Structure 1
Amino acid sequence: MSISHRISIRWLPSPASEPHSVLVLTSPARRYVDIRLTLSPSGELEGLYWGFAGQSFYPTPNSGRWEHFIDSRSDEPGSDEGSLEVLENGDVLEKGKMVDFEEPDKGEKEYEEVWRDEVLEKDERVAIVMETEGGRVVRVGGWVQGVLKDKEGFNAERWKDGKRIWGMGKELASDEIWEKEKELVVGDEVEKRGLVWRVVERAVW
């Protein structure tokens, strides 16, 4: 379970920077939603750069693999993987190869990403995952993120402390996962704008 903010990305040999707001919410069963938003010069959230959801795996303590089941950039999602190193300050350095969408013709490039996890207070330790065909919403602590890919396009949203702070396309089930936190159990179904969302995971610790 984690709330992971990306601190920087570096496309070797260029210096590190952070042009996006990148947040990954991962449930105890390692179901995740990863939303990457472009930042304006003043730091405001703008359009979607990349959004995807899937399952994470850690074959060893120093390596990770992230399967994509839903992906804003592909109708045939794959996976990405990298090596992991915990830095002295507790941040995690991820290294690997992937396509830089700013220069897609160059194929995969070496990258380095630095990630930092939020520390949850005791009263924030809740995780809920809801799914529908082509969609997933994940809540961890005070954050909720959701993605949905359907015949009309890609939809995504990000919530913080009960408020929708960014969204594109249809409203998903983020309000339901927030407002009905205490009553939702695995197997419950909620209808939202013609879609049925099912609770597939819930954890409180």
Structure 2
Amino acid sequence: MSISARLSIAWESSSKPEENTSTMVLSTPSERFVDVRPLLTPCGDFPFEWAFAGSARLLAPDGSQIEFSHDFFDSDYIRRWCECRKRELAGQTVQYPLKSDIPKDIGHFETLQDGTRRETGTMYNPGSGTEEQYEERWVSLDPWKTTPQHKVQAGSTVAAESRLFDVKSGGEGRFVRVGNWAQGVFWNKDNLDTPISVVRVFFDGRWNPVLQHGDCSMFPVGENPAVGATVSKGTVTWEVLE
């Protein structure tokens, strides 16, 4: 399990490194993850560069090449789907996006002398609307010592309990906890205006929200059942997979 924070990104269309988000990725031992990228300067009705969840697969034994799939949950796909649904309800003919068309991203990783990681590859650039080459810098965070005010880089081995909840019924989504941190994404298909809910919470004696968007009442914050158990929150049922 791990927590990663992005330090910067540089696109080929604008090679200067920058970071306009507070991106954090929580991953489980099976490499299933939730990746949330809220804008530092929120704008619009969806104040995120991206919010998605999926799984990672090693393409090289040393971890230098990893494939990321996010057809499980992808905010760009969901927002396009909702726009199609609105037009359809207005009497227009539409063609819905397909989850099978969501591309997989392959990142090439290099560990730098300071322990941070450089990732290069090609993926969709929300700014330009096209696929571009990119270079990102990442840091692994200590899941116990990192706080909302202070990031602490993880050592080579940091043990932390984790839990992974996937929605079993009532929508689509995932909620991951690693150490003192948890975050989740959820799609309410009955809400076309605010279909996506996002939460990031930190434990400091109690679970405190660091980030909330949409209706977050369905997330299993603070729940710690055994693997295989289910948790109901209103009309949403979650299953503990890890």
Q: TM-score range by the shorter chain?
A: 0.7 to 0.9
CA offsets 1:152-182 (integer angstroms, 9 cap, x no match) = 21111111121111111221554x342x33x
Task: Say which SS state the counterpart of residue 212 (structure 2) adopts.
Answer: strand
Spell out the pairing of 1:111-130 with structure 2 (5 A cutoff): 111-121=134-144, 125-130=160-165
Aligned to 1:22: 23
Aligned to 2:76: 73
The question of 1:196 aligning with 2:237 is answered yes
Query: In structure 1, how many angstroms separate the alpha carbons of the residues matched to 2:59 and 2:140?
Result: 20
Query: In structure 2, how many angstroms separate the alpha carbons of the residues matched to 1:50 and 1:121?
Result: 26
Native 8 Å contact 2:37 2:51 kept in 1: yes
1:95 pairs, out of 114, 120, 128, with 120
2:226 pairs, out of 160, 185, 190, with 185
Aligned to 2:85: none
Spell out the pairing of 1:1-205 with structure 2 (5 A cutoff): 1-12=1-12, 14-40=15-41, 47-60=47-60, 61=62, 62-68=64-70, 69-75=72-78, 76=99, 77-104=102-129, 107-121=130-144, 125-133=160-168, 134-151=172-189, 152=191, 153-161=195-203, 162-171=207-216, 173-174=218-219, 176-178=220-222, 180-181=223-224, 184-201=225-242
Cα distance change of structure 1 residues 15 and 156 upon mapping to structure 2, 3 Å threshold:
same
Query: In structure 1, how many angstroms separate the alpha carbons of the residues matched to 2:141 and 2:66?
Result: 19
Deviates more, 1:145-154 or 1:28-37: 145-154
Native 8 Å contact 2:110 2:118 kept in 1: yes
TM-score, L = length of structure 1: 0.86
Q: Which structure's residues are more often strand, by fraction?
A: 1
Query: In structure 2, how many angstroms separate the alpha carbons of the residues matched to 1:39 and 1:130?
Result: 27
CA RMSD of aligned residues (A): 2.1
Query: In structure 1, how many angstroms separate the alpha carbons of the residues matched to 2:232 and 2:164?
Result: 15
Query: In structure 2, how many angstroms separate the alpha carbons of the residues matched to 1:198 and 1:96?
Result: 34
Specify every segment of 5 or more residues in structure 2 that has no aligned partner in the other structure, as ranges: 79-98, 146-157
Amino acid at match of 2:127: E
Alpha-carbon shift at residue 98 of structure 1 (Å)? 1.5
Query: In structure 2, how many angstroms separate the alpha carbons of the residues matched to 1:186 and 1:173?
Result: 19
Task: Say which SS state the counterpart of residue 74 (structure 1) adopts.
Answer: helix
Query: In structure 2, how many angstroms separate the alpha carbons of the residues matched to 1:130 and 1:172?
Result: 15
Query: In structure 1, how many angstroms separate the alpha carbons of the residues matched to 2:217 and 2:233?
Result: 7
Q: After TM superposition, what 4+ stretches of structure 1 lie above 6 angstroms from structure 2?
A: none
Native 8 Å contact 1:2 1:140 kept in 2: yes
TM-score, L = length of structure 2: 0.73
